[in-house]
Amino acid sequence: MTDHVVLVNTDDVPQGTAEKLEAHVEGWLHRAFSIFVFDPDGRLLLQKRADHKYHSAGLWSNTCCSHPRPDEDLEEAVRRRLLEEMGFECALHRAFHFVYRAEVGNGLIEHEFDHVFIGHARPTVVPNADEVSDWAWVEPDHLLSDIAAHPDRYTYWFRHILSRTLSHVSARAA
């Protein structure tokens, strides 16, 4: 079965669907989501993308990210994909959204209207080896330092939304 994504305009209004790989080859704007799960100690759960992923393979990224299926509720897709990729469920809230466009290698372009979701939990992590090659709980300060020193170890979108996500978490905690 071929995966499809929801094409959207800059207001996140659906404009149709496309095969996922074609959308990334053409650089068409499509709906996506990124999940950040923090433990009670404030550490962020990272995943290292599997080495065979079609783009950004072997790079560290946020807890989970993906695309809702056509006609799938966004919150349902977020819950489904977190369970499929990382093997657990937790409460998540929608934090913010952003649009970005980046060349991600292999002639592919990420052009996404990305909805960011944040959760707090101490789950038992059971990653799907088809999606994730490694995972770790990381202190935000250490992570920011490592990204500054070694940006090539991390996905484009993760590097560009981490500070905003951490600010959002801090503001909600205050």
- DSSP code of residue 101: E
**Which residue of the set 64, 65, 85, 110 is catalytic?**
65
Amino acid at 152: D
What b/e string do you get for 28-41 counting C-beta neighbours within 10 Å, with b at 16 or more? bbbbbbbbbbbeee
112 flagged as catalytic: yes
How far, in whole angstroms, is CA 116 from its chain's centroid?
8
SS3 169: helix
- Write out the DSSP string of 61-82: E-SEEE-PPTT--HHHHHHHHH
Distances (CA, A) of 23 to 1, 7, 13, 18, 127: 16, 8, 16, 6, 26
CB 44 within 8 A of CB 91: no
**Which residue of the set 64, 85, 110, 112 is catalytic?**
112
Catalytic sites, residue numbers: 65, 112
